[in-house]
Amino acid sequence: MLPSHKDDRACLLKVALFPSFFYTRSESGEFHGFGVAFAQAFAESCGQRLVLKEFTAPPAVVRALQSGESDLAFLGHNPAFDVAFTPPYLRADFTFVVPQDSAVVEIADVDMQDCRVAVVREHAMERALLGKLQRAIFVPAATPDEAFAHLLAGRADVSAGIRPGLLDFARRHEGFRVLDGRYGANVLALAVAKDQQDLLAQAASFILDARRSGLLQRIIEKTGLAGVEPVLN
């Protein structure tokens, strides 16, 4: 179990989120989706009450873990982040969404002269693109929604992203398609501060149990998460 203290704050599991495909937020401010259900299952497994807080981007999440503002986070496995990671639980392709009438059919087509690519800064989707596009022009965005806004407004010709998030965008906006190919993959894990070894061990054990028991697959199916591959070994 996680350390217990007299302070009620010890009964909380503070989980950091950043705008991505694994959750949505309703107009009333409630969080929904795979990440929320998965975090809730972990909190219940260790007798804690889940508290979710949203941050702007992965670097802000890393800082929240390091400062103790958050206990746990959903992050792509990135060695550059000075945090500790559990074994992975999901894998998702990086690809592109384009208008239906776009001449872009394959990943290689994106690197056309003056092709404008909306991409979220300081995100794994940007890191995976570095060095792979020689002629395309990056259109930076702070969040996935801002990248999609660039595409919708015609400020970008394609939008980079993680397949499940792009599929959801194409489902909600008629006239767009997601490319079948990929330019990279994001392997997702839970992350904690490096000095939180007890929590890391507990989260790692939960991941392994969720794989073996089928809980991971059940949450994927229950929340309707598409475009991902569960990591089972």
Q: pLDDT for 82-129, tens place per residue?
A: 999 999 999 999 999 999 999 999 999 999 878 999 999 988 899 899
Q: What pLDDT is recorded for position 6?
A: 42
Q: Is pLDDT above 60 for 9?
A: no
Assigned token pair, 196: 């939180």
Find all residues with CB under 8 Å of 222, minimum gap 6, and list them. 37
Evaluate whether 72 touches 12 at the Cβ level (below 8 Å): no
Is residue 78 helix, strand or coil? coil
Per-residue model confidence as pLDDT tens digits over 164-207: 999 999 999 999 999 999 999 999 999 999 999 999 999 999 99
Alpha carbons 138 and 181: distance in angstroms, whole number:
19
Determine the Cα–Cα distance for residues 23 and 148; give it in Å rounded to an integer.
16
pLDDT digits (tens, 9 = 90+) for 62-90: 999 999 999 999 999 988 899 999 999 99
Would you say residue 223 has pLDDT above 70? yes
Q: Which burial class, exposed, middle or buried, applies to 199 when counting CB atoms under 10 A from its CB (0-12, 13-18, 19+)?
A: buried
Rounded CA gap, 125 and 143, in Å?
Answer: 11
Residue 38 amino acid letter: F
27: confidence class by pLDDT, cuts 50, 70, 90: confident
Cβ-Cβ contacts under 8 Å for 8 (sequence gap 6 or more) = none
* Domain locations along the chain: 8-89+187-230, 92-184
Q: Which of 104, 78, 99 lies closest to 189 in space, CA to CA? A: 78
Q: Judging by DSSP bridges, how do beta strands 72-76 and 12-17 pair with one another?
A: parallel
Q: Identify the band that residue 2 occupies on the pLDDT scale cut at 50, 70 and 90.
A: very low
Sign of CA dihedral 40, 32, 218, 55: negative
Structure tokens at 105: 């059919």
Which superfamily, per CATH, for 92-184?
Periplasmic binding protein-like II (3.40.190.10)
The verdict on domain 8-89+187-230 having CATH code 3.40.190.10 is yes
For residues 159 and 186, what is the distance between their CA atoms, to the nearest angstrom?
Answer: 16
Q: Give, in degrees to the nearest 5, the angle at Cα 108 between 104 and 114.
A: 65
Same fold, 8-89+187-230 and 92-184: yes
Structure tokens at 152: 């919708």
Yes or no: say if 82 and 103 are a contact pair by the CB < 8 Å rule: no
Q: Mean pLDDT, to the nearest integer, of 50-60?
A: 94
- Please check the confidence at residue 1 and state whether its pLDDT lies above 50: no
